[in-house]
A and B are shown apart, each in its own frame.
Chain A
Amino acid sequence: NAGVTQTPKFQVLKTGQSMTLQCAQDMNHNSMYWYRQDPGMGLRLIYYSASEGTTDKGEVPNGYNVSRLNKREFSLRLESAAPSQTSVYFCASSENPGRVSPLHFGNGTRLTVT
């Protein structure tokens, strides 16, 4: 089983460029999440989707947008990238809310904004 698949694995952007990070899961999970991981700060939730058709802001949503395209796919878009968005981005999914069910993570996208 592939689990959670993220693309691309690495990306370098110039300030002001846009891009979309793709995420797909094949576990028929209801909930999906986008996190960013920065050194010494743990993981911070950007957006989540509790179920197909819904999205909600997390702790650090500014500068990002998301789309829950269908049950499998949850994309993250940076409309105008800034150096502060240099980070490692993780997509995750869970069958039920994260408080109850374990989160399954992709292997991450390492983004550098110059």
Chain B
Amino acid sequence: GDSVTQMEGPVTLSEEAFLTINCTYTATGYPSLFWYVQYPGEGLQLLLKATKADDKGSNKGFEATYRKETTSFHLEKGSVQVSDSAVYFCALGDSNYQLIWGAGTKLIIKP
């Protein structure tokens, strides 16, 4: 079946460092791909998405490109801030209602 694999955390970086959180997927069809973010004590919220191969999603300085050839959707940001500390989830949408979620990657940014 479909699945999503994310790099294990926590990922600890200093402020202004470059961020990459890896996400790879397996799917039989042509899924949409998402990154959601969960700040402490809150529910998840959509960060960005891409619906077809080579699409780039972007929001709040974060970017991810849908790479069909490597089945990847890695999240990147050029210069992280303390306020980016959160848990990041990669997700795959193959059917209309059932998203497949990665395990989440906790990001800690130190000042």
* Residues on A facing B (Cβ under 8 Å): 4, 31, 33, 40-45, 48, 50, 56, 58-59, 90, 92, 97-100, 102-108
Contacts and interface: CB of A to CB of B under 8 A. Distances in A.
Contact of A42 (B32, B96, B97, B101): B101
Contacts, number: 65
Contacts of B42: 105, 107
B53 to A, nearest CB: 16
Contact of A45 (B41, B45, B96, B99): B99
Q: Chain A interface secondary structure, helix, strand, loop or mixed?
A: loop
Nearest to B93: A99
Interface in B49-79: 49
A113 B34 CA distance: 32
Given A42-B89, A42-B104, A108-B43, A103 B97 contact: no
A103 B97 CA distance: 10
A100 B36 CA distance: 14
Q: How large is the interface on B (under 10, 10 to 19, 20 to 34, 35 or more residues)?
A: 20 to 34
Contacts of A4: 43
B46 interface: yes
B28 interface: no
B95 interface: yes
Contacts of B93: 98-99
Contact of A97 (B44, B97, B101): B97
A107 B102 CA distance: 19
B97 A43 contact: no
A48 B97 contact: yes
Contacts of B31: 99
